[in-house]
Structure 1
């Protein structure tokens, strides 16, 4: 039995075709973030691949990389790459674990995976104001903003996908807009408009949009602020040279003994 699809891929592709290059600042910042992280890794990567819906942005920064779209089945050969970057598209995946598994299989041993995706704090205020406005207008709620994963849950996906040494951390970006309507327009320009499979198939009532705009808290200048959270996931394909956790019960000293020794040493130093 096929599970229900969260994302309408046809609507998503349509939304992305309408995106404007000048609105893709989150992708530009993601490129810089990846470059900085790679610079901190003592490794030369010669066979990179990048999964992205906006090839032109990433191809310019990584001219030697294989650039592929974030399709349900990724065009990646097994063990063909020493670096795979999944760039700002995982939040639109119907099967995020499957995406990570495919990336891990494409890595040669001790290859690096870096994934960047929007996280659960993204657009929290917009979600709340739209829900309040729709409930006031219609007495119900419709799926209007894509649910996004929390950092703890997304980090756990790395281990489920078979990646070693998993790390998940987040970056937040606050963006100021003239009002909430301009924020919504910018989301469309970013290709991040509603593409959920269960979305309403009619234009949103003007009263709901205006109601959300009125509920959105403004700053001293009358502007609104939107928060975008980018979660960065990193992990390595398994290799014998990597650090391994100790087996349970293999410690040579009990934790209690170590703590007691530390307290005793501190007492002697104080005296």
Structure 2
């Protein structure tokens, strides 16, 4: 989740080509377990909001799982899906082919925008968040979940160790991920009110590194870094990385662990009706007095 628009981290054209191949082969939905879980979680969070959203946008949801839940929730009217690849929108009546980094949404036009596992792969995260905030109507809600924190830290460490051992140097092979502090700061910088962030960790177990990497490829998330090495990679590197992974991160039954940290965040477009923090110095009672009232002594 990059923080600087002038620094391209991800080759998004490469991401599109890979996802298109997976879509054509029918593999894109094979690893949808994580996306389904995230969609369920965001739907649960939305259910706690006692509001009806006349126009909702499913932004970069890939499979339509989030859009389906929005329609079933009874909390939304129109649900519009936005995707970069037209093939992901087949059969949709309300859909827009567009890039998250160049949203074709008019200012103050939608009531709810939900993003599931796509914003970790944009190059201009602050710019995307500003566009989302502008597209929302006043008091509109933004819900988002993206991979961050320690996601795939085991894979990164095993690949680095193997490459350093075999070649005497390393090259980036696993995408960088934002932490929860970055997420909260970005929401505030983009102008959202009442920002909330939290993290949920999922540990997925695999038979070996190659099974994990097959899932990553099916997710369309194989190495897509602009600064990735173009040097041909030998199978020897991955065999050694698999050995290191098993040595460091295997359970007693021999299966390896892979961490996926999902950072969830929400924010509202500012509106005069929203609760606001008190102005510094405006409190009419001191903290010491409050503590005395609660404990009888200080």
Give CA deviations for 1:195-254 in whole Å, capped at 9, x if unaligned: 111111244322221111111121111110111111111000001111100111111112
Q: Deviations over 1:98-147 (max 9, x none)?
A: 11111111100100000111012111111111111111111111110000
Given candidates 22, 30, 37, the residue that maps to 1:29 is 37
Deviation, 1:180, is 1.0
In structure 1, list runs of 5 or more residues that go unmatched: none
What is the TM-score of this pair, normalised by structure 1? 0.92
Counterpart selection for 2:81 from 67, 73, 78: 67
Q: Match of 1:124?
A: 153
Partner SS, residue 54 of structure 2: coil
Aligned pairs, number: 265
What is the DSSP-based 3-state SS (H/G/I as helix, E as strand, rest coil) of the residue aligned with 1:22? coil
Report SS of the residue matched to 1:84. strand
Q: Which residue of 2 aligns with 1:5?
A: 8
Listed as ranges, the matches of 1:1-271 within 5 Å are 3-19=6-22, 20=27, 21-52=29-60, 54-63=62-71, 64-69=78-83, 70-216=99-245, 217-264=249-296
Distance 1:203 1:76 in 2: 42
Moved more, 49-58 or 206-215: 49-58
Give 1:62 deviation, angstroms: 3.6
Q: TM-score, structure 2 length as denominator?
A: 0.84
CA distance in 1: counterparts of 2:141 and 2:289, whole angstroms: 38
CA–CA distance in structure 2, aligned partners of residues 198 and 102 of structure 1? 27
Matched residue of 1:168: which SS? strand
* 1:144-182 per-position Cα deviation (integer Å, ceiling 9, x unaligned): 000000001111111111000000011111111010111
Deviates more, 1:19-28 or 1:230-239: 19-28
Gap regions ≥5 residues in structure 2 = 72-77, 84-98
Say if 1:18 and 1:191, in contact at 8 Å, map to a contact too.
no
